[in-house]
Structure 1
Amino acid sequence: MISAALLLAMVGIADLTRSLVRDWYTGEDAGTPLLSCRVLDVRGKRTMVLVIGAFWAIMLGASMWLLGLEWWWALAATILAAGWLATTTSREDAAAPLRLWPALGLLLGTLAFAVLDTTDPAAGTPAAAWHGTVAPEWIREIPLSTILVTIGVGLFLIESSNIVVRSALRPGSIRRRGVRGEAPVPLPDLRGGRLIGPLERLGLLTLTLAGMFTIVAALIAAKGIVRFPEISNDGATGSKAEYFLVGSLFSWGLSLLGVGLIRISG
């Protein structure tokens, strides 16, 4: 389970770095796949690689030293995380190179790690000593593995989940051609979702874990009410309605998958 948490955290940190580097370097090309960014500015590419590499080195070292994770699990997590970066893009206006296949591979890898990795972070590790003696009492009541998985899921839901949702929406899933072969209907602007999406997913994750299902249902209903005028005026193509439904279902599904992973981690 520790390797699953590490994998999600590595992917989440890397995607946040890609997004921030893209914004820092004028937002032109820093979101292209990491291993094929021929058009990326050299400074932006170097900064991206260095920052991601530094974060990953710290995370890998901490996982093996503080949590007792075996090196082969750390290596496997690094390979899968690098594969994710190589096959996805963080650009809002770019087509997903392999659509949802990278997300499916990451899901299967995470589930495999969760089932096969039997590393017990509470078995005499420095992290276990901190958790059992130094941490506040309310943190001690939560299993250490659950804390780690929650951190990994939370990091993934911030930016990486935006990439998954955009992969479901671009291209072809909600683009339509008219009966006379008109140009594809433009997609709604995705930039606002960079903030709204993570807040929504983290909110659903927190409320579901707390058992506040009535509030979860109310939030979902409220989102539909807010979007209803826009959807009702969508016209014959229905692109905005389909965009809303597909994006929302994927976003909610990712939150629920995170809840499930956290539940089984304890």
Structure 2
Amino acid sequence: MILAGLLLFAIGAVDLVRQFVPASRRWIGYVVSAIVLILIGSFCNAAGYMIAAAAGAAAWLLSMPDRPDRRQGFWPAVVLAVASIASVVVLGDRAPIGWLESPFGRVSPDLAVLAVGVVVFLLESGNVVVRAALAGEHTWKPTSAEGGFKGGRLIGPLERVLAFLLMLVPAYSLLAALLAAKGIVRFPEISKDGETGARAEYFLVGSLVSWAMALGGALLVWWAANTGH
């Protein structure tokens, strides 16, 4: 599972750099991300997996660039999901070099890295995947004149991280309330839909992809925690 954790962390880190660091200084952000990845890999005694994660992050940058018209579609996200699941199911948990204390009790470093990697990925990389899914479905897109669904860039990451945590606690009633609240808040905008139903499709596709990533990440961590060896 250490490979999945490092890979998700590396991809999430480079997407955060692309989003929040000016283009002229991104190389600094990439260097800092690489240093953090090296520190984590060294602490976990996972040099080989660290190199594989760095290569995966580079491939992600090439296949999912800043310009949407140059992206390779939704398939990089599918490949990443398959690789992460395979890493957890096939590789499992290595013999722990020690134990870390957490609100959920003692956890192995591998499991901790996986959980942190999932959270980092859900932040900005989750937005990248949602946009790729919307582009692939050719759904309606809000124009600057319409205003569209404002705040999605911030709401999406917060929603995914909360859903991820509520799944692990578990607090399914609160999770259901969170998902329902989003629909209620967005209802006035969706109700402006015309006969095409394009706004509703845009909302549903984006929301379902976003929720699927959060719930999938939680299930991945849950599986790793309960079947690690």
Normalised by the shorter chain, which TM-score bucket? 0.7 to 0.9
Secondary structure of 2:85's match? Answer: helix
Structure 1 residue 96, shift from structure 2 partner: 5.9
| TM value normalised by structure 1 | 0.75
Structure 1 residue 95, shift from structure 2 partner: 3.7
Change (3 A) 1:216 1:236: same
Distance in 1 between residues matched to 2:142 and 2:29, nearest whole Å: 38
Distance in 2 between residues matched to 1:52 and 1:191, nearest whole Å: 29
Q: Which amino acid aligns with 1:230?
A: E
Secondary structure of 1:170's match? Answer: helix
Mapping for residues 160-239 of structure 1, pairs under 5 Å: 160-170=125-135, 172-175=137-140, 186=143, 189=148, 192-239=151-198
1:4·1:113 contact (CA, 8 Å) conserved in 2?
yes
Higher helix share: 2
Distance in 2 between residues matched to 1:153 and 1:185, nearest whole Å: 29
Unaligned runs of 5+ in 1: 31-43, 176-183
Q: Which moved more, 1:225-234 or 1:186-195?
A: 186-195
Distance in 1 between residues matched to 2:161 and 2:83, nearest whole Å: 22
| TM value normalised by structure 2 | 0.86
Structure 1 residue 150, shift from structure 2 partner: 1.0
**Equivalent pairs, count:** 223
Q: Determine which structure has more spread, i.e. the larger CA radius of gyration.
A: 1
Distance in 2 between residues matched to 1:50 and 1:169, nearest whole Å: 31
Structure 1 residue 158, shift from structure 2 partner: 0.5
Structure 1 residue 189, shift from structure 2 partner: 4.0
1:68·1:121 contact (CA, 8 Å) conserved in 2?
no
CA RMSD of aligned residues (A): 2.4
Structure 1 residue 118, shift from structure 2 partner: 4.9
Does residue 75 of structure 2 align to residue 75 of structure 1? Answer: no
Distance in 2 between residues matched to 1:145 and 1:20, nearest whole Å: 28
Change (3 A) 1:100 1:188: farther
Deviations 1:27-54 (A, max 9, x none): xxx4xxxxxxxxxxxxx1xx21232133
Identity rate, percent:
37
2:8·2:121 contact (CA, 8 Å) conserved in 1?
yes
Change (3 A) 1:246 1:207: same
Secondary structure of 2:46's match? Answer: coil
- Equivalence for 2:28: 50
Distance in 2 between residues matched to 1:56 and 1:121, nearest whole Å: 25
Change (3 A) 1:58 1:233: closer
2:2·2:111 contact (CA, 8 Å) conserved in 1?
no
Q: Choose the corresponding residue for 1:149, options 114, 134, 137.
A: 114
Mapping for residues 87-98 of structure 1, pairs under 5 Å: 87-90=63-66, 94-95=68-69, 97-98=71-72
2:44·2:109 contact (CA, 8 Å) conserved in 1?
no
Structure 1 residue 106, shift from structure 2 partner: 1.3
Unaligned runs of 5+ in 2: none
Change (3 A) 1:253 1:172: closer
Secondary structure of 2:115's match? Answer: helix
